[in-house]
Amino acid sequence: MDNVPPSWPRAVVFDLDGTLVDSAPDIGAALNATLATDGLAPFDVDRVKTMVGGGSRRLIERALAAHAESADAGRVDRLVEVFEKAYADHPCRKTRIFPRAIAVMDTLAARGMRIGLCTNKPGVAPRLLLAALDLTRYFGAVVTGSDGFAKKPDAAMLAATFAQLGCTARDGVMIGDSAADVGCARAAGCLVVLVSFGYTPEPAHALGADAVVDGFDEILPVLQTLHHSHMRA
């Protein structure tokens, strides 16, 4: 990491769902199977994308709200348990890595940058997913919603990810897709880049990121430009 050119960040931390991988089909399948246990109708994948973010509990709460159903704590607890088991059983049937993501991570690693993952997704599913897609090898730190930190947009998870990578937030960049990613980056004190194709009901350009990209082919030049300007400020 000491060989990283000064114009580049020392570390890059990615969000998972909607940023690195298109996991909505598998999340949706597990969610719909869970809702069926209560006799509730399924959602299509585009609707599921607007519900992802904040972890399993928020997903279940949003799904129940969309059905105008009660979301008392006991019911949510029960459905979260059903969902997490269903998803962990099949986390990667239809999930795919977004185009050019692998090439970007290969380049970051080749230039000496550390790569981390910071996701609100809880349980064993994040690491199962990384293993199934052969992504584990890229990450020097993986922090999930089950690792005991307050979830994004709180800064705790992101700060812990950078610490495990051996640097501070000011030395790095967060890449995500949502308001929660912007919020945690701002709270931690690092730059944040959003992808425009992620899972958020609001347009990415309206969320206050330092930059928004429409594809992974735009990320490398944006990282270099942003970090160079940031370090000169």
> Which positions are catalytic?
15
* Contact (Cβ atoms closer than 8 angstroms) between residue 26 and residue 92: yes
Q: Which amino acid belongs to residue 74?
A: G
In terms of Cα–Cα distance, which of 169, 168, 174, 172 is closest to 194? 174
* Contact (Cβ atoms closer than 8 angstroms) between residue 54 and residue 120: yes
In terms of Cα–Cα distance, which of 145, 189, 186 is closest to 163? 189
* Contact (Cβ atoms closer than 8 angstroms) between residue 59 and residue 51: yes
* Contact (Cβ atoms closer than 8 angstroms) between residue 97 and residue 21: yes
In terms of Cα–Cα distance, which of 153, 149, 185 is closest to 169? 185
Kindly list the distances between the CA atom of residue 129 and the CA atoms of 17, 87, 89, 179, 207, in Å, as whole numbers in the listed order: 10, 10, 11, 23, 27
* Contact (Cβ atoms closer than 8 angstroms) between residue 133 and residue 102: no
